[in-house]
Structure 1
Amino acid sequence: MTRSIPLGTANEFIGRHIGPREADIARMLERLGFDSLDALSDSVIPASIKGTSVLDLPAGLGEAEALDTLKAIAARNQPFTSYIGQGYYGCHTPSPILRNLLENPAWYTAYTPYQPEISQGRLEALLNFQTLISDLTGLPVANASLLDEATAAAEAMTFCKRLAKNKASNAFFASRHCHAQTLAVLRTRAEPLGIEVVVGDESALDDASRYFGALLQYPATDGDIQDHRALIARLHEAGALVAVAADLLALTLLTPPGEFDADVALGTAQRFGVPLGFGGPHAAYFATRDAYKRDMPGRLVGLSIDRHGKPALRLAMQTREQHIRREKATSNICTAQVLLANIASMFAVYHGPAGLVRIAERIHRLTAILAAGLAQLGLKAEQAHFFDTLTLATGARTATLHERARAQRINLREIDGERLGISLDETTTPAQVEALWALFADGQAAPAFDALAASAESRLPAALSRESAFLTHPVFNRYHSETELMRYLRKLADKDLALDRSMIPLGSCTMKLNAASEMIPITWREFGALHPFVPAEQSQGYAQLTEELEALLCACTGYDAVSLQPNAGSQGEYAGLLAIRAYHHSRGDTQRDICLIPASAHGTNPATASMAGMRVVVTACDSRGNVDIDDLRAKAEEHKERLAALMITYPSTHGVFEEGIREICAIVHDNGGQVYIDGANMNAMVGLCAPGKFGGDVSHLNLHKTFCIPHGGGGPGVGPIGVKAHLAPFLPGHAGLERKDGAVCAAPYGSASILPITWMYIRMMGGEGLKRASQLAILNANYIARRLEEHYPILYTGGNGLVAHECILDLRPLKDSSGITVDDVAKRLIDFGFHAPTMSFPVAGTLMIEPTESESREELDRFVDAMIRIREEIRAVESGELDKQDNPLKNAPHTAAELVGEWRHGYGREQAVYPTASLLEAKYWPPVGRVDNVYGDRNLVCACPPIEAYQDA
């Protein structure tokens, strides 16, 4: 008798991605009073928007099948040897950094280090980055990275506008020698703000008093190296500030901008070990004078002390950020490029100052040899001085040379019809230099490499030779063997809590599984080795990937078109409002500049509206946290002639599906406005309802939230926008796209090399899996809310007593009854091995919890048990059993050093560090006690301190 063998399904991924098992789901549903997931979601989703999502997607693929399919797409890319330059260069990612950092979930699944006690490892890596930038630029304060060089330049422009003495000016000078993509982004950012960008030759700049600021490129995009000292002195005398976009590797050999009196230095750290990746993600840098530190955009890591007086790192001067200052914020940037900044910082740690100089000198020497050989062939470089880039006048031969080069799998830079450019990099070899000579020889005898190598002289200007030392701190001079670097990276990772250790229950932030199968393709050479400006025929794999991903995202959202260019959620918000603004202007409604924003909105919303040239009008929320529809209607009608847009988050920032969303959208449309639906909470909607179908005109999507791109310790992020058809003509443009205007970042597809993560997620989940993920996100959140509601008030629920995919615990009554604050609970959770939920947002004194669908019931219960145990400790404070000041919450977190020292507390060591039995098996030990934020801001140190500071402490 033949036995039948059950084959089952080849796609196990849905079950791998979703945490709770079927039996767990049944028990959780029973606790909530439902017999199925469909019954639960039907009760949560308002009747008015049910059925708006029809996920017309193919069935999910198995992991192996999806990887094979994507590999075939990647094979359509052709990684030629590119000498295009223009801010993007080939480089080597050291293998120990690739394996122990980029491919390590301890680094890529971490969250932004807002909780410093559990982030000391990545904060130290970022402090190393800031030190690297400060040392190389010669400026005392550097931030912990921005999105890319072009957006950093745009930030510098508005920075100069705020701080320059020449207040009467509204013009910003930008050298024509800046990279073309930087000039494009400058123009986009300037137009809504009424800033005039004047592009010209700095050598011909006559009236410096006309400008509030200027941007110079060093070395220039064509390779030339100019001495800017006299020009900067003239601009300063006229009351202008000067920003210099500088090549970070060249600064190991050239006088740094801070030493020739630049006010800002900016650029990209891409060539410090970060692959080209078709344009991103790459960490930008921004450095400035100490006097301007409070106006600097982005995050700043600073040194403080913990409650034991021990040095401890933290994010400093948060009052600059948009979640506090809203429309008056320094910037709307919420995401940095932390993972990439950490790669760059470790590249510097691994090579050290001498190693970086060797890399730079080798590149320059090969470029000088190349130039000497080309001169022998009758092609003299236009530049007398250069670092790694040459511009050649090739006349009528130009098109033929490009054609011949591509036949040999070589890309040269296209400048114009009679000139071309060549940029060398860390990966260039002598054989490749000889291949370039052969390309240009046209029948002539090839130059002799060895002879030219023996005679070629430096082509750096002697007057700009770097004299100052850099990277003298021990951290850059110790870890030069692979063993030492591997252990250093492990030591830093062990200090941190990331998703590989425990649940990160952050409301509004969606810390879900970043599956290994999704991550694998980002290190494939076919995706990583492409320059963003290669000819279209060489990037057909990316073309297919992006076209398919746009269609997948349209299916998920109900929109008609998608742009993948915005490289952060904040950039997506900005691009969305620019599309709305351009649409109104195309219809002659140039007066429409009012943006309605609910009081509960994330701080990036009003900051973005301000950047887009709109005026913010705040609308009220009712007692249940919903938008006050009467107030919204009154303000929409009041501003009917000027209404541009409404920015609203759905489900709401309070974690509720508002019943009146269709009515809200209709009110705005009836009064001439457009509806921007913030996609931060899309994880509750995919497969259940679609913003493009229930009233939204545009949404940004956080691919680093709903669609599984890792947070990376605070970036990379991807924030594409979906739009209805009438807004599609106004999506971000780029020189490399059909629409040329309106670029919001440097590369046409933003952070292209991490888009395969989202493609993999959607293709493996399929429509059925995506809907199930949304339902489980809702189930997990409601399960936590139900288990905790008898211990902590749930601040907001829908009309049926249910929440969406997140819930808010109200801790304000506990402060009155016990003196225990939301901070105390957050820090006490560290002793239980948990990252805290989102603190005091959107309501001060609350915790917002979002468990995501990835967490198992066991992990949910472990978290709930910790919260209940903490509530018991609070009751002990309320009853007087525990002292109001000397208790486990006020003193949390507890370190191992404190445990073995003299114990001065009125509660036991075991209660402090082992409050539950499960911790005996696996205990996370915070490296520092509670960090003193006030001390850190009053005594700001934001570069690696002398080693003696640690020894003294």
Structure 2
Amino acid sequence: MSTKQDSLLSNSKAVRSLESLQHRGEFIERHIGPDQAGIQSMLDELGLESLDRLIEKTVPAAIALNRALDLPAAMNEETALAKLKAMAGSNQSSRSFIGLGYYDTYTPNVILRNVLENPGWYTAYTPYQPEISQGRLESLLNYQQMVLDLTAMELANASLLDEATAAAEGMALAKRVSKNRNANKFFVDAGCFPQTIDVIKTRAENFGFELVIGGFDQVDKSELFGAIFQYPSMLGDVTDLSEAVEQLHSHKAIAIVAADLMSLTLLKPPGEMGADVVLGSTQRFGVPMGYGGPHAAYFATRDDYKRAVPGRIIGVSKDARDKQAYRMALQTREQHIRREKANSNICTAQVLLANIAAFYAMYHGPTGLRRIASRIHRLTQILAIGLQSKGIKLDNETYFDTLTLAVSEDEAMQIVERAGAANINLRLDRIASHQTIGVSLDECTSEAEIAALWQVIIGKESASLSVAYIDKQIETGAVGSVVPTKLERKTAYMTHPVFNRFHSETDMMRYLKRLENKDISLTHSMIALGSCTMKLNAAAEMIPVTWPDFSKPHPFTPVDQMQGYQKMIQELEHMLEEITGFDAVSMQPNSGAQGEYAGLLAIRKYLDGSGETQRNICLIPTSAHGTNPASAQMIGMKVVLVACDDDGNIDIADLRSKAEEHSEALAALMITYPSTHGVYEEAVKDICQVIHDLGGQVYMDGANLNAQVGVAKPAEIGADVSHVNLHKTFCIPHGGGGPG
């Protein structure tokens, strides 16, 4: 036997069990850069014998966990992916025609492969340093131009979190800029999406605004500082909003329109009706529904209001050599500079998804987008004509892609039963005094699905209907248009060469690569800027994102059809509870900024429920991230700053002084732990106790939770509420500025 064979045999004899060959720690070894030699070298430099000793000297003994987390055994990548695949397979593959701002869409493969699945795009950081971000900045400028053209507005930002929170931001802008200074009422048209109304309700309550929800003809316009309308409406109506806008302007109020971006390729844009703000979702521009997100919201307004706009704006500038360059513009509006005086608490938005939407628009161009929208509308009209021919009444006479059917209770139940048997989800709702069924079509709707919808809604009588026959009637003019001529789009859009150049896959691929090559991402080097960047977004973590069983479901799919998603969410909740020590976890907030808002709102409601409504003071260290004071003021709290010492730690004497000064009104302290400058402050438990002794609550910003996992638990340190940033601790990619 050779020496090499002897060595191999000897090594195999050294392995004591099959368990040790499972290599359950493989993921960690590949995830964490330093090998044992590198770790030992660093320990030697520090004069320490082990990592445990390093933790002992770094983490205060008062908060050290000193016990293992009660979590399931580690898995290697293959096992974890197999488990996720089984969960995904437990989701029922139904076809949803629910709408409400979420629609099935095709992600062009050239964009899927070269952007969404490309670490050169998804691992990049927020473009605070424009010198290493020119590719993303150019794409975001294209995104803004796409939004401007389709909405016919003057200025757009580089995305917000989702349509509902964008609507709430629109309301806040309206209050800031409205000349009707004494007005405190905001009107919400009943035709807005329900989730939008819910978010506006929450935000309005904490701003102290009075909401009026209903029909515009029933409200006193002189009492309004602003109003929002859905275009087309939740029911599908396409309505001329020009008169409503004029009435608002006559009372110095702001007109906001939440518009379907795809519909604006065919319909008169809100900007041409005089709207002051136009907002909505870009989800149907190639971004999968993903059971609710993430998706990029758009936000457009007048140039006069640019300093009141939330979120990031990309502008054109010049570099040191006097060449054209891109950068983030008007940053003095934002939380990282203005803090509690900022327009919004939003920091990270949805840049990766905004870029996908922009590339989708560029790949199809204005002609392609109009063709897609026209096909959606044609299929909707064919569906409607077939239904009406069999006696089904529509609640909406005009429409783009959505029909609302007026049916009896018995008919509704029969339709729902047939839909369930056909694996189809429809929208069941009650409007005023009668039952309705809602149907929304999308880019992926087929002729066969129209026939299936007829069968589900009508039953056996649908057999005599023909898609081809009705289509011919429309084509020959035997059936007229359902959109009034005055509401048809007459103006050109997306005329810039960038939207008319990259329609072949090769051209698009090369353009994407040119932009990618202008940026630094984790494919080039680590990004030593802020705590916001995980140093690896493992491929295994990204792979399930595009699996159809995870990416296709509509967020309002009945829960019993989403057993895989429910199991995954519940298991994750339990693991997060164990990691953090908290009793419950909400998976709802869509970013760190919204997590802060939700957490502070939980504190606000807890105090109100305890009869301590006078508590409205929020103590915040001067070293805190800008979102902290911005979030506190959005809840209606008054920010009181706490000094820090020369090392950046909280000045406990100043904290105690401020807390005692405001003891009767003290609501909360917001802290980041480890602190923003990366240090475990020794006195953190004492800091929390000062607040608790005076009846306040402690909010812990979880931006740096990755430095606590397995070492300490926020709840045991003294935190009452915390949020966890997924792109920091749990490896969601930063995407050049979102999702987060």
Query: TM-score under structure 1 normalisation?
Result: 0.74
Sequence identity, in percent?
A: 59
Q: Which residue of 2 aligns with 1:35?
A: 49
Aligned residue in 2 for 1:447: 465
SS in 2 for 1:158: helix
User: Counterpart of 2:618 in 1: which secondary structure?
Assistant: strand
Q: Residue in 2 aligned with 1:332?
A: 345
Match of 1:356 among 369, 376, 383: 369
SS of 1:514's equivalent in the other structure is coil
Residue among 547, 550, 554 paired with 2:573: 550
Choose which of 474, 488, 491 in structure 1 pairs with 2:511.
488
Match of 2:441 among 421, 424, 429: 424
How far apart, CA to CA, are the structure 1 residues paired with 2:530 and 2:116?
A: 26
**Structure 1 letter corresponding to 2:443:** E
Task: Work out which of the residue numbers 604, 611, 614 in structure 1 matches 2:637.
Answer: 614
- 2:338 counterpart of 1:320: no
In structure 2, relative to structure 1, the CA distance for the partners of 1:406 and 1:52 (3 Å cut) is: farther
Match of 1:287 in 2: 300
Q: CA deviation at 1:623?
A: 2.0
Which amino acid is 2:306 matched to?
Answer: K
The Cα of 1:542 is off from its aligned counterpart by: 0.9
Q: Could you list the per-position Cα deviations for residues 657-693 of structure 1 after superposition, in whole angstroms to 9, with x for gaps in the alignment?
A: 1111111000000001000011111121111111111
Partner of 1:14: 28
CA contact (8 A) 1:276 1:532 kept: yes
- Aligned equivalents of 1:434 and 1:59: distance in 2? 49
Q: Deviations 1:377-414 (Å, cap 9, x if unpaired)?
A: 11132211100000001112102211210111000111
Instruction: Report the counterpart of residue 342 of structure 1 in structure 2.
Output: 355
Q: Is the 2:312–2:329 contact (alpha carbons within 8 Å) kept by the matching residues of 1?
A: yes
- Looking at structure 2, the residues matched to 75 and 543 of structure 1 have their Cα atoms a distance apart, in angstroms, of 12
Q: Is the CA contact 1:504–1:511 (under 8 Å) kept in the aligned structure 2?
A: no
Query: Is 1:371 equivalent to 2:384 in the alignment?
Result: yes
Q: Which amino acid aligns with 1:514?
A: N
Alignment-derived partner of residue 276 in structure 2: 263
Q: Deviations over 1:204-248 (max 9, x none)?
A: 234211110000000001100111111110111011001100000
For the residues of structure 1 that align with 2:735 and 2:649, how far apart are their CA atoms?
32
**1:120 matched to which residue of 2?**
134
Q: Report the Cα distance in structure 1 between the residues aligned to 2:533 and 2:296, rounded to whole angstroms.
A: 23
Task: Please report how far the alpha carbon of residue 191 of structure 1 lies from its aligned counterpart in structure 2 after TM superposition.
Answer: 0.7
Q: Distance in 1 between matches of 2:534 and 2:95?
A: 38
- Structure 1 counterpart of 2:65: 51
Contact 2:104 2:442 in 1 (8 A): yes
1:584 equivalent to 2:607? Answer yes
Equivalent residue in structure 2 for 1:301, among 314, 327, 333: 314
Assess if the C-alpha contact under 8 Å between 2:125 and 2:533 holds in 1. Answer: no
Whether contact under 8 Å (2:404, 2:439) holds in the other structure is yes
1:105 aligns with 2:116: no
| CA deviation profile, 1:150-204 (whole Å, cap 9, x unmatched) | 00000000000010011111110000000000000000111111111110112x2
1:407 aligned to which of 421, 436, 440: 421
Once the two structures are TM-superposed, the CA of residue 54 in structure 1 deviates from its matched residue by 4.3
- Paired AA for residue 669 in structure 1: H
Query: Deviation digits for residues 730-766 of structure 1, max 9, x if unmatched?
Result: xxxxxxxxxxxxxxxxxxxxxxxxxxxxxxxxxxxxx
Partner of 1:186: 200
**Deviation per residue, 1:586-643 (Å, 9 max, x gap):** 1111111000001111111000000011000111112222111111111111111111
The DSSP-based 3-state class of the residue aligned with 1:431 is helix
1:452 Cα deviation from its structure 2 partner:
0.5
- Within 2, Cα distance between the matches of 1:315 and 1:624? 31
Aligned partner of residue 392 in structure 1, secondary structure: strand
Alignment correspondent of 2:625:
602
Q: Do the aligned partners of residues 74 and 328 (structure 1) sit closer, same or farther apart at CA in structure 2, a change above 3 Å counting?
A: same
Unaligned runs of 5+ in 2: 475-479
Quick check: 1:223–1:387 contact (8 Å CA) kept in 2?
Answer: yes
Are 2:449 and 1:436 aligned? no
* C-alpha deviation, 1:458, in angstroms: 2.9
Question: 1:640–1:671: 8 Å Cα contact kept in structure 2?
Answer: yes
The Cα shift of 1:552 comes to: 1.1
Give the partner amino acid of 1:329. Answer: A
Q: Structure 1 residue 361: deviation in Å?
A: 0.2
1:264 CA drift (Å): 0.2
The residue number in structure 1 matching 2:477 is: none
Q: Contact (CA 8 Å) 1:510, 1:683: kept in 2 or not?
A: no
Q: Report the AA paired with residue 244 of structure 2.
A: L
**Is 1:197 the equivalent of 2:197?**
no
Kindly indicate whether the alpha-carbon contact (under 8 Å) linking 2:534 and 2:728 is maintained by their aligned counterparts in 1. yes
Match for 2:150: what amino acid? L
- Say if 1:250 and 1:360, in contact at 8 Å, map to a contact too: yes
Letter in 2 for 1:435: A
Measure the CA separation in 1 of the matches of 2:647 and 2:539.
40
**Alpha-carbon distance in structure 2 between the residues aligned to 1:534 and 1:51:** 41
Q: State how 1:825-864 maps to structure 2 within 5 Å.
A: none
Unpaired runs of 5+ residues, structure 1, are: 718-953
Q: Select which of 77, 80, 88 maps to 1:63.
A: 77
C-alpha separation in 1, matches of 2:464 and 2:57: 77
1:7-33 Cα deviation digits (max 9, x unpaired): 623321110001000001000110011
The alpha-carbon deviation at position 511 of structure 1 amounts to: 2.9
State the SS of the aligned residue for 1:47. coil
* 2: CA distance, partners of 1:511 / 1:316: 26
Mapping of 1:138-287 within 5 angstroms? 138-202=152-216, 204-287=217-300
Tell me the distance in 2 between the aligned counterparts of 1:206 and 1:108.
47
Q: Contact conserved, 1:141 with 1:289, CA < 8 A, in 2? A: yes
Deviation at 1:440, TM superposition (A): 2.2
SS in 2 for 1:547: helix
Q: Distance in 2 between matches of 1:45 and 1:604?
A: 26
What do the CA deviations read for 1:692-750 (whole angstroms, capped 9, x no partner)? 11100011111101110000000001xxxxxxxxxxxxxxxxxxxxxxxxxxxxxxxxx
Count of aligned pairs: 716
Q: Residue type of the partner of 1:654? A: H
Give the corresponding residue for 1:857.
none
Cα separation, 2, equivalents of 1:206 and 1:315: 40
Q: CA–CA distance in 2 between the matches of 1:519 and 1:561?
A: 27
CA distance in 2, matches of 1:265, 1:206: 22
Paired with 2:301 and 2:199, the residues of 1 have a C-alpha distance of 21
* 2:555 matches 1:541: no
Q: In the TM superposition, what is the alpha-carbon distance from 1:441 to its structure 2 partner? A: 2.5
Hey, what's the Cα distance between the residues in 1 that align with 2:453 and 2:131? Answer: 53
Report the AA paired with residue 471 of structure 2: A
Shift, 1:356, TM fit: 0.1
Given the alignment, which residue of 589, 592, 596 partners 1:569?
592
Q: CA RMSD in A?
A: 1.2
1:639 aligns with 2:662: yes
In structure 2, what is the equivalent of residue 746 of structure 1?
none
Aligned to 1:828: none
Structure 2: how far apart are the matches of 1:442 and 1:289?
A: 50
Offset at residue 52 of structure 1 (A):
6.6
Q: Quick check: 1:108–1:713 contact (8 Å CA) kept in 2?
A: yes
Write the deviation string for residues 827-866 of structure 1: whole angstroms up to 9, x where unpaired. xxxxxxxxxxxxxxxxxxxxxxxxxxxxxxxxxxxxxxxx
Measured after TM superposition, the shift of residue 146 of structure 1 is 0.2
One-letter amino acid of the structure 1 residue matched with residue 80 of structure 2: A
